Amino acid sequence: MNIFEKMVGLDRRWVFLFLFVVVTGAYFFRNSFSVNVTTTREVRSIYDFVENLDPGSKILISFDYDPSSLAELHPMSRAILMQCFRKGVRVIGVTLSQYGAGMVEEAFRKFGSEADSLYNTHVEYGKDYCFIGYRPYPGFVILGMGENFRIFFPRDYYDTPLDDLPIMQGVRNYDDIEGVIAITSGTTADMWVIYGNARYNMPLALGVTGVMATDYYPYLGNAIFGLIGGWKGAAEYEKLIGEKDAATAGMPAQVAAHLTIVLFILIGNIGFLLSRRSKKTGN
């Protein structure tokens, strides 16, 4: 048994500990080295879309994620919301995820006040943004909103009739907004493509978790105009809006973790190749 095989045979808790130390260390020393994030055209197209909107334009952002994926998707929400608030683009918020309501409330509360202090704005509920709430069965809700937001959401999350919100005046369905950005984990992204864009043909962009990102490339150009994939996608967006936040801060830890895992793969494969060679030579 060679040294590499012996390493692979170690108790997996040593592997866990090694990763824990490397990632934690890289996170705490994040200011000591920087990672140059290059932007991709799929992320840039979403940034450009928002940037080219006139102040007062309205978009729908669907925050379809739970605490389990807040790490990846909350930074995206922040970057997009900050850009909207800075530009004066109005945001209608909705969630199709069962624990998403808490995520949306926190996003608007936290990032709204950050925008106020950073850009000297006064982001106001009902005028600059609103949260219409949560409904189960995303496919049907997406179809319903395509007919009229009021079918499923006669009142917002705080029990105010939708018609009493200035931002919802004159907004009946997707035809009355500039587009939809769905920040989503799980199959809701497919539903936005199939039940939303395929049926109502509204401009649609997706922000998805890393696990899902590669699955949505086939929709680029035919169903979606942009795609933000995971933590790196969020870091790209932070770079585009010129504000480094959680995703950028985590990039050194990401690099360290990736190098560690590449190292693990190399050790495992070297051990495998050496043992195969020694079996072939009969030693």
Partner 1 sequence: MEDSHLVELLWTTFAAFLTFATFSFLYKDNPFYKFAEHLVVGVGAGYFVVLLVLTSLKPKLWDPLLAGQWWYIIPGLLGVLMWMRFSKKVSWLSRYPIAFYIGTSGVAIPLYMYNSINRQISSTLDLSVGFGSLTAFWGIIIVIGVLTGLMYFFFSKEHKGAFGGLAKIGIYVLMLGFGASFGYTVMARISLFVQRIAFLESWGRMIGNFFS
Partner 2 sequence: MKRRVPLAMVFIVSLFMVIQYFVPLDSLAWMYQYLLDWTIIIGVFALLLGIWSLWHVSYGKIKQRAENWQYSIVTLAGLFIMIISGFIPGWGNLNNYVYEHLFYYVLVPIQATMFSLLAFFISSAAFRAFRARSILASLLLFAGLVIMLRFVPMGPVSTVVADLAGWILRVPNMAAKRAIIIGIGLGAMATAFKIMFGIERSYLGRD
Q: How far is the CB of 175 from partner 1 (least distance, A)?
A: 18
**Is residue 247 within the footprint of partner 2 (CB under 8 A)?**
no
In order of 45, 139, 203, 204, 218, the CA distances from 223 in angstroms are 14, 16, 8, 7, 9
Among 148, 243, 246, 274, binds partner 2 (CB under 8 A): 148
Q: What is the DSSP letter of 56?
A: T
Q: Are 149 and 168 in contact (CB under 8 A)?
A: yes
Q: How far is the CB of 151 from partner 2 (least distance, A)?
A: 6
Read off φ and ψ for residue 57, nearest 5 degrees: -65, 155
With respect to partner 1, which residue has the nearer C-beta, 136 or 282? 136
With respect to partner 1, which residue has the nearer C-beta, 88 or 139? 139
**Is residue 244 within the footprint of partner 2 (CB under 8 A)?**
no
Among 43, 50, 53, 70, binds partner 2 (CB under 8 A): 70
With respect to partner 1, which residue has the nearer C-beta, 6 or 258? 258
With respect to partner 1, which residue has the nearer C-beta, 91 or 193? 193
Distance CA 80, CA 181 (A): 9
The listed partner (partner 1, partner 2, none) that binds 35, CB under 5 to 8 Å by sort, is partner 2
Burial classification of residue 93, based on how many CB atoms lie within 10 Å of its CB (0-12 exposed, 13-18 middle, 19 or more buried) = buried
Helices and strands (H, E) in the chain, number of each type? 12, 6
Indicate the angle between helix axes 230-241 and 70-87, nearest 10 degrees.
20
How many other C-beta atoms lie within 10 A of the C-beta of residue 248?
22
Binding site for partner 2 (CB under 8 A): 8, 12, 15-16, 19-20, 23, 35-38, 40, 66-71, 99, 101-102, 106, 135-137, 140-141, 143-144, 147-148, 151-152, 157-159, 199, 214-218, 232, 251, 254-255, 257-262, 264-265, 267-269, 272-273
